Amino acid sequence: MQTLQTTSLRVVKNQLFILDQQALPQEKSWLDASSVEALVGHIHALRVRGAPLIGLSASLLLALLAERGNSRDELAVALETLRASRPTAVNLMNNLDRMKQALWQEDFVPALVAEALRLIEEDKQLCDAIAKAGSALVKPGSRLLTHCNTGGLATAGVGTALGVIAHAHQQGLVSNVWVDETRPLLQGGRLTAWELGELGVPYQLIVDSMAASLMAKGEVDAVWVGADRIAANGDVANKIGTYSLAVLAKFHGIPFYVAAPHTTLDPDCPNGEAIPIEQRAASEVTGVAGSFGAVQWAPEKARVYNPAFDVTPAALIAGWVLDTGVVTPEAVSNGFFRGSAA
């Protein structure tokens, strides 16, 4: 495969490397992800994260394994192992479905390589289209609030919700971005703050529980988030804490937008209740770990409930911004996500 480079993925000499997102922003470290075991480990540890990026990394690895001579049967097993690595992020399932079709072509090696590279290029184009469509909803002087990380670190392109914000900033529409720290793994504090700083977008970092007081003071004009899965009725699974923001935004009369590519849609999932929610390790809540080391603040035997995602009902969402354009609540009520229009 040709040499390839995105913000978080790198292919060099038939080897796949991922940017360690657990080490950022203190350290920029590229880790080998050239085996199924290695990539699954990175996905579980969130060293590679973001729904689009997880799907793309798995697709690239399958193509590289094919080029190294793995048999069709071996690749089929690898595909299903990768599919099971992150149950909530449907981009992974959608990308692997396309790779599976390529796998069963007669000349499957070049077919897998071509499909993986096509997915990378499509993601870049999808991000650009989302950014353009979403920025049309941003008013001059906007103070925007975002949660988790949805930029170039999580995609092959400029990002989803953060791509919208960056594009709107380039148009002079953004006066400030409130960045939720995003407990418990601090993707906002570590990653989104870093990306916005690199882009020159003015931001202020806040702890998650500060959002309500900011909204009450009239300091937030809109909320922008990404998605890991959009159900047929418009319900959205995203990083834990998203639902809280949606409820707060609704109460304060603030528009709440979801930005995602069409690969995040799951028309076979009827509603949010049917979305599988990953439970993660208790250690993420009982303390903190990173390139700086680890510390535990909770009692050793503390019981922990730690879902990685929550579900925001469609009724709380002002608009779904896809690469195909803005989808309104009325369109969703009329079955937009259930039919072929999506």
Q: Across residues 197-215, what is the average pLDDT?
A: 97
Query: Catalytic: 228?
Result: yes
Q: Across residues 40-63, what is the average pLDDT?
A: 95
Q: Across residues 32-42, what is the average pLDDT?
A: 97
Separation CA 178–CA 172 (nearest Å): 17
User: What percent of the chain has pLDDT above 90?
Assistant: 93
Q: Across residues 128-141, what is the average pLDDT?
A: 98
Q: Across residues 221-241, what is the average pLDDT?
A: 97
Higher pLDDT, 2 or 107: 107
Task: Please determine, for residue 339, whether its predicted confidence score (pLDDT) is greater than 80.
Answer: no
Q: Across residues 202-209, what is the average pLDDT?
A: 98
Half-sphere exposure of 202 (CA within 13 A, CB side): 9
Task: Please determine, for residue 12, whether its predicted confidence score (pLDDT) is greater than 60.
Answer: yes
Q: Across residues 250-269, what is the average pLDDT?
A: 96
Biggest alpha carbon distance in the chain? 62
3 token code pair:
């040499």
The ranges of the chain annotated as CATH 3.40.50.10470 are 131-333
In three-state form (DSSP H/G/I as H, E/B as E, the rest C), the secondary structure along 247-271 is: HHHHHCCCCEEEECCHHHEECCCCC
Q: Across residues 176-204, what is the average pLDDT?
A: 97
The reported pLDDT for the residue numbered 1 is 87
Give the CATH number of domain 131-333: 3.40.50.10470
The reported pLDDT for the residue numbered 43 is 96
Q: What is the mean pLDDT of the chain?
A: 95
Q: For residue 29, what is the DSSP state?
A: -
The reported pLDDT for the residue numbered 288 is 85
The reported pLDDT for the residue numbered 340 is 43
Residue keyed to tokens 């009450």: 216
The ranges of the chain annotated as CATH 1.20.120.420 are 4-128
Task: Please determine, for residue 163, whether its predicted confidence score (pLDDT) is greater than 90.
Answer: yes
Q: Across residues 142-153, what is the average pLDDT?
A: 97
Nearest to 94 by CA among 239, 243, 230: 230
Task: Please determine, for residue 341, whether its predicted confidence score (pLDDT) is greater than 60.
Answer: no
Separation CA 140–CA 234 (nearest Å): 28
The reported pLDDT for the residue numbered 342 is 42
- pLDDT digit string, tens, across residues 265-309: 999 999 999 999 999 999 999 998 776 778 999 999 999 999 999
Q: Which one is catalytic: 208, 221, 228, 235?
A: 228
Task: Please determine, for residue 47, whether its predicted confidence score (pLDDT) is greater than 90.
Answer: yes
Superfamily of domain 4-128: translation initiation factor eif-2b, domain 1 (1.20.120.420)
Separation CA 169–CA 134 (nearest Å): 12
Task: Please determine, for residue 260, whether its predicted confidence score (pLDDT) is greater than 60.
Answer: yes
User: What percent of the chain has pLDDT above 70?
Assistant: 99
